[in-house]
Chain A
């Protein structure tokens, strides 16, 4: 523990410095992997854009989850349901109105994208209200069951044939059933740039980019700029949650997390605080879902399986619940290592052993190992299976983390509800033990560490 603490303490700029360092390290690793793989410049830029995209979405989602779980202690395992509602409502509001004979089976209201995004966030927040109202009356873990049930209801509703198309304000709209919806409107980046009147300038920039990428540079530039936009949104989320967490409102939330009865006894209407925090987090999850899926051009209900919720939880647990920096770091590490990493690893191995085809069957893989002690085919075969085993690996990581490091891979960084430091002055601690024994005086830490050391 102390080695890591020393390491993190020595980084200039504190937590922000740590984020920058992790991001730079990740990009460096990806660029090096790209060099080994012999990617062209275009391939390198594309891989960086994809990586940035996933870092952005997972960092946003785990920040929103941190508001629920890390700040308020609300155990939401229906994240994907709020994302789905955000995306579908945005789609219905923004899609062009239905024209008979057009490519799309159903239309929308044809409003601008920003209206759609606001409507989607609002819808996700309202769904959060509907979910939270009954669940708050129940035991804490019932919220978990209610939220996961809600996310499945949402998915089934979007899958159902009954809601495939219906009339809204005189327009033929719908959720498209199992085949999903085509998002036939301008993607967020284009809408934003057109909105601020920079679209032509952007097209000029894309043309200028031909110096770097000669043929058809637009998809590459789009990807890179959209990645940057997402990182901007991450910064926005971070700022919003930091402000929220440090405000009097946020202190009440942290107090609820630590002991709801005490917060209640101090005259705070905890239910109201919990509902507000839950709705804000749900709206942010809806926004993250919109930013993730709208650029993809189409959306199907079966994307919104509970596994996406599980991804976000792993990201948050990796970083350490309770801290915004940890959420961003967790999102970045999850995206780079667990989500995108296995594919790169597989490509790398096949680039290192270029003239070896990976064996097609288990028999071909295992027989050289037995007869000639040649492990390479077996290794290649295992690596070949890694992408299929990706979710297994993620599950094992989660189990391992929960067993050994429930406070997060990057150490204990939960922010306490108190505004003043709870640790004793250094001089009093000089005679006894290490740093941890000092921190146990702060109630919060004592509870968390007691849970670990018990038995």
Chain B
């Protein structure tokens, strides 16, 4: 009985950890799959999402960094977590649009390596700007207690433990993270697979020139795809913020696992990103439970095994050089 509950706890923790990877990897994967753009600044979007979420949801005191020096003793609107879940993705969507228009678009026809270098540069710029503004120490991001509390309506409780069958008490917020991720990924999947917009995007992936010849302005779907990818990274920042530390290096730290998720899942496949994220999440959770010192190295080991046996990724079908 207790073994079963331990296993279930690891599974749930793994799903939660995986959910963050899935959100990031789906965004990366649709950008990589449809636009053929390697975005090393995806971690920076996650970083922006986390800090923007912190700004909207809470009001945290600042102790060092330029903002504190300029006389801002605290930082935030304190209008609740639900507002953050709404506004932050919109904001990061906008950041994504700007990034596509002014940075990425010029690089679509350039080699991958140029794209990597330019976005790597952007990631460093964002990270260091945050370090200058907020200092390099970690900021507290408390888990939200309730969401959707308007006036007399007390709202839904989202923090604290919840009693589950067999498992026993489990932190409720982690379940919410899994739920939010599932809904968002399903929405993106439906958008890409079953709408006219998705049809144009997928056609553009096959042959952008042909789509243009048919009189469709391909740049508009492209910029939207980029924005959606960015917004997903922003959501990952908001929901993942309370579960991890918040400091300027989180963006670069999460970038490599997110990329490996895409690679082991298969580039361009949303289902692949989900599978890859879940595999990584479960691996991390299991290693944290049994061999915490190796939890970070474990991801790379899994990635190496997958790449050696199935170079196109678990669900990828792309041709790989023989």
Where the two chains meet, the residues of A that have a C-beta atom closer than 8 Å to any C-beta of B are 69, 75, 77, 134, 137-142, 144-146, 148-150, 152-153, 156-157, 160-162, 306-307, 310, 313, 317, 360-363, 385, 388-389, 391-392, 394-399, 402-403, 406, 451, 454-455
Cα distance A306–B124 when bound, in Å?
10
CB pair B320–A398 under 8 Å, yes or no, is no
- B110, B117, B296, B297 — which one has the most chain A CB atoms within 10 A of its CB? B117
CB pair B120–A153 under 8 Å, yes or no, is no
Which residues from B are CB-within-8-Å of A406? 110, 114
- The one of B110, B294, B300 in contact with A451, judged by C-beta atoms closer than 8 angstroms, is B110
CB pair B120–A310 under 8 Å, yes or no, is yes
CB pair B113–A141 under 8 Å, yes or no, is yes
Chain A residue nearest to B107 in the complex (CB)? A402
CB pair B70–A363 under 8 Å, yes or no, is yes
Query: Does B164 reach chain A (CB closer than 8 Å)?
Result: no
Query: Does B187 reach chain A (CB closer than 8 Å)?
Result: no
Query: Does B3 reach chain A (CB closer than 8 Å)?
Result: no
Which residues from A are CB-within-8-Å of B307? 134, 137-138, 142, 146
11 A-B pairs with C-beta separation under 8 A? A145-B259, A153-B300, A362-B69, A391-B128, A395-B124, A396-B121, A398-B121, A399-B125, A402-B117, A402-B121, A451-B109
Chain B interface mostly helix, strand, loop or mixed?
Answer: helix
CB pair B121–A395 under 8 Å, yes or no, is yes
User: How many residues of B are in contact with the other chain, CB < 8 A?
Assistant: 44
Chain A residue nearest to B319 in the complex (CB)? A139
Cα distance A161–B296 when bound, in Å?
13
Cα distance A277–B4 when bound, in Å?
52
Query: Does B106 reach chain A (CB closer than 8 Å)?
Result: yes
Cα distance A152–B111 when bound, in Å?
25
Cα distance A396–B122 when bound, in Å?
7
Which residues from B are CB-within-8-Å of A148? 256
Cα distance A451–B109 when bound, in Å?
7
Which residues from A are CB-within-8-Å of B311? 137-138
Cα distance A389–B131 when bound, in Å?
9
- B107, B111, B120, B132 — which one has the most chain A CB atoms within 10 A of its CB? B120
Query: Does B71 reach chain A (CB closer than 8 Å)?
Result: yes
Which residues from B are CB-within-8-Å of A144? 38, 112-113, 116
Cα distance A317–B120 when bound, in Å?
13
Give chain B interface residues in 279-297, CB to chain A under 8 Å: 293-294, 296-297
CB pair A398–B116 under 8 Å, yes or no, is no
Which residues from A are CB-within-8-Å of B300? 149-150, 153
Which residues from A are CB-within-8-Å of B293? 160-162
Known: A138-B320, A162-B294. 20 other contacts (CB 8 A): A138-B321, A145-B260, A149-B256, A149-B300, A150-B300, A161-B293, A313-B117, A361-B69, A361-B70, A363-B71, A385-B66, A391-B124, A391-B128, A392-B125, A392-B128, A398-B118, A398-B124, A399-B118, A406-B110, A451-B111
A162-B293, A361-B70 known; A398+B117 contact, CB < 8 A: yes
Cα distance A144–B38 when bound, in Å?
11
Cα distance A134–B264 when bound, in Å?
14
A142-B307, A160-B293 known; A399+B112 contact, CB < 8 A: no
Which residues from B are CB-within-8-Å of A69? 113
